[in-house]
């Protein structure tokens, strides 16, 4: 069975003239905004109201590990996310730049919250979105990973039919890792 990336699905639907599935492309809110209930109240005082609202409504974030000089890397991409307790979690390919950065000590990350489409080189629309800084770490605690997987299924119910088992298998075989980001105001 051939596996397709989220980007390939979005581009294929567009090529066929079909509307994208909700939560896969810009201008479409996530089907299930139950993620609002997963935002801890403790975030509200530390983060601006526009960030808290964006985190509760957006299907995507754009993130970039920061170089030691504080500049964002050139590798910036849109990605699904969930909020569990006080962390923003993403499940990513273990060979991705964001995963390698966290594993090699580059934990500082810039995050833009919202959905303005698929990132490509030269893309800068995400830079206008509400943003915040975060510190990345690899999440290995089984209960935290399970809570994140459950939250992904709640937030992306249609997409989870395709991606749920891929995430689980990837986490089991090491081809994917769960990254947790501790948020702080930009």
Torsion of CA 176, 177, 178, 184, to 10 degrees: -120
How buried is residue 113: exposed, middle or buried, by Cβ count under 10 Å (0-12/13-18/19+)?
Answer: buried
- Residue 66 DSSP symbol: B
pTM flag (> 0.95): no
Give the whole-angstrom CA distance, residue 177 versus residue 28. 27
Comparing 23-27, 28-32, 60-64, 115-119, the range with the smallest average pLDDT is: 28-32
Q: What is the pLDDT of residue 158?
A: 94
Residue 178 in contact with residue 97, Cβ under 8 Å?
no
Per-residue pLDDT for 53 more than 80? yes
Instruction: Give the mean pLDDT of 9-21.
Output: 56
Q: What is the pLDDT of residue 50?
A: 87
Per-residue pLDDT for 34 more than 50? no
Q: What is the pLDDT of residue 84?
A: 94
Higher pLDDT, 27 or 167: 167
Q: What is the pLDDT of residue 106?
A: 86
Give the whole-angstrom CA distance, residue 159 versus residue 13. 14
Read off the tokens for 101: 């950065």
Return the domain boundaries, the chain.
6-185
Residue 9 in contact with residue 21, Cβ under 8 Å?
yes
Per-residue pLDDT for 61 more than 80? yes
Per-residue pLDDT for 44 more than 60? no
> What is the chain's mean pLDDT, rounded?
81
Higher pLDDT, 39 or 148: 148
Phi and psi angles of residue 83, each rounded to the nearest 5 degrees, phi first:
-105, 125
What architecture is domain 6-185? Roll (2.30)
- In tens, the pLDDT along 106-143 reads 899 999 999 887 777 777 878 888 999 999 999 999 99
């Amino acid at each position: 069975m051939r596996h397709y990336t989220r980007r390939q699905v979005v581009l294929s639907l567009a090529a066929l003239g079909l509307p994208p599935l909700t939560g896969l492309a810009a201008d479409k809110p996530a089907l299930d905004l139950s993620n609002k209930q997963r935002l801890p109240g403790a975030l509200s005082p530390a983060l601006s109201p526009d960030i808290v609202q964006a985190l509760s409504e957006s299907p995507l974030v754009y993130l970039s590990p920061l170089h030691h000089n504080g500049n964002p890397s050139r590798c910036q991409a849109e990605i699904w996310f969930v909020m569990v307790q006080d962390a923003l979690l993403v499940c990513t390919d273990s060979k991705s730049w964001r995963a390698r950065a966290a594993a090699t000590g580059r934990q500082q990350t810039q995050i833009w919250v919202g959905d303005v489409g698929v990132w490509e080189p030269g893309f800068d629309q995400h830079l206008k979105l509400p943003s915040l800084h975060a510190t990345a770490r690899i999440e290995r605690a089984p209960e935290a990973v399970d809570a994140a997987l459950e939250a992904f299924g709640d937030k992306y119910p249609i997409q989870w039919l395709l991606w749920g088992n891929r995430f689980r298998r990837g986490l089991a075989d090491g081809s994917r890792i769960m990254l947790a980001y501790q948020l702080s105001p930009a």
